[in-house]
Amino acid sequence: MLRLLIPFAGNFSAERVTVQKRRRVKQIHSLEGRLAQEAQELRRRAKGLSPGQERESLLRRAQQHEEAARMSEWLTPQGLRASR
């Protein structure tokens, strides 16, 4: 943890502020792959439910994940795409 002294403009006293370092995680799978896998899991869970609001919500989220994966693929330059 880092401790910083931050002076205030109108006041000459300083306040101690604790800043936490950001945790970094190295992703093994591509964003598109993770989104597609999550969409597949959401559809599997929705299949086991009877028609209703919860099932529709899961199917909507699955569709959003699939759309996000397609958009991410469109936005990723060809040379930077992970091999499949």
The pLDDT of residue 83 is above 70: no
Find the mean pLDDT for residues 54-63.
Answer: 97
pLDDT in tens, 2-45: 565 666 555 555 566 678 888 888 889 989 999 999 999 999 99
Between 57 and 76, where is the model more confident?
Answer: 57
Between 80 and 34, where is the model more confident?
Answer: 34
- Distance CA(43)–CA(26), nearest Å, equals 27
Between 7 and 78, where is the model more confident?
Answer: 78
- pTM for this structure? 0.63
In three-state secondary structure terms, 11 is coil
**Which of 41, 44, 42, 31 lies closest to 75, judged by CA?**
31
Residue 4, H or E segment? strand 2-7
User: What are the domain boundaries of the chain?
Assistant: 31-75
